[in-house]
Amino acid sequence: MKLLTALVLLILLTACTSSGPKLDTSHPSVNHDSRIQFVVLHYTSTTLEHSLALLTHGEVSSHYLIGAEPPTIYKLVDENLRAWHAGESEWQGRTWLNSSSIGIEIVNPGYRDTPTGKLWYPYTEGQVQALIVLLKDIVKRNNIDPRDIVGHSDIAPLRKVDPGPLFPWKRLADEGLGIWPDANAVAQRQASMMDNLPSVTWFQQQLAQLGYGTPQTGELDVATRHVLAAFQMHYRPERFDGQPDVQSAAILQVLNHQR
């Protein structure tokens, strides 16, 4: 009798501790895609040691960190979890991109101010190669559109300038990890626009079409200048003053046409 009572109690205890409802999984839907829609690239503005401390025990985080010497790839947050790297942000109409992106930080000092302006620091060859390998894996697994590999400055142009004008966007695009305008097409469009610079409204519309969160005011306000500067730093890093010009217009038009 004691043995029977113990057996009954064991069965009841097992039933009570089983978790969740019984689920029928025989009808999976085909209507879904990856939670991860974007990859956002950053520089850390500090050393490897400080970067690791900030990203693991500070108020921010990222999924990956790429060191410099040697260019080690550190996995800090599982891709299924939300890392806190994007903050207030927008791209392709999506906002607050922490929930829909993978963040990659790269150890780099960023810049230092000098009497003649900002002095930007380059990325090492090892870092670039490590980033390419990592990005190819992420993009393949999550089916990410190349135009959705972006910089922090692209998604938060009023607040951020990383990964900066020395970031090798064209090299990534040559590897299928981003987009880049065809130089011949840009030259042709630029020649045709030489005597007819588009309006600010046109620039705002084209920037928004490319993915940037852009005011639609028809005025060259502070926000629009910041967005245009972020675009220029990405696609024409030799000059990113935030002023509308024919070359910027030609690049915008070619990129949106390539789309």
Task: State how far the Cα of 32 lies from the Cα of 30, in Å rounded to an integer.
Answer: 6
**CA pair distance 41, 65, nearest whole angstrom:** 10
Instruction: Give per-residue burial for 25-55: e unless 16+ CB within 10 Å, then b.
Output: eeeeeeeeeeebbbbbbbbbbeebeebbebb
Residue from 49, 69, 105, 219 carrying the catalytic annotation: 105
- The answer to whether the beta carbons of residues 236 and 250 sit under 8 Å apart is no
DSSP-derived secondary structure letter, 98: G
User: Is residue 105 among the annotated active site residues?
Assistant: yes
Cβ–Cβ under 8 Å, residues 194 and 213: no
Cα–Cα distance measured from residue 33 to residue 91, given in angstroms and rounded to the nearest whole number: 18
Whose tokens are 């951020």? That residue is 160
Catalytic residues: 105
